[in-house]
Amino acid sequence: LESRALLSVTGMTCSACAGSVEKAVKRLPGIKEAVVDVLNNRAQVMFYPSYVNEETIRETIEDVGFEATLIM
Ligand code: 9UX
């Protein structure tokens, strides 16, 4: 069964930023879907918790160069 993570992502100023965040998250193992909303500074990720967790997702977004906080 999958889990859902909602993160606040700040520092994205264009849709290409959102695209790079989505691409990086989707490269992780155990990701079902990642949707990044640049206008609302949100990332929603569906993932399989046997393979990946919220903190790994958050750190991956930070590695791309944006500040990420887990909302829920
Ligand atoms: Mo374009 Mo978004 O260089 O940071 S990808 S502004």
The tens digit of pLDDT for each residue in 33-72 reads: 999 999 999 999 999 999 999 999 999 999 999 999 999 9
Q: Is 13 in the pocket of ligand 1 (CB under 6 A)?
A: yes
Domain 3-70 matching CATH 3.30.70.100: the answer reads yes
Q: Is 10 in the pocket of ligand 1 (CB under 6 A)?
A: no
Distance (angstroms) between ligand 1 centre and the Cα of 19 equals: 10
Distance (angstroms) between ligand 1 centre and the Cα of 21 equals: 11
ipTM confidence: 0.82
- The crossing angle, in degrees rounded to 10, of helices 15-26 and 54-64 is 140
Q: Which amino acid is at 17?
A: C
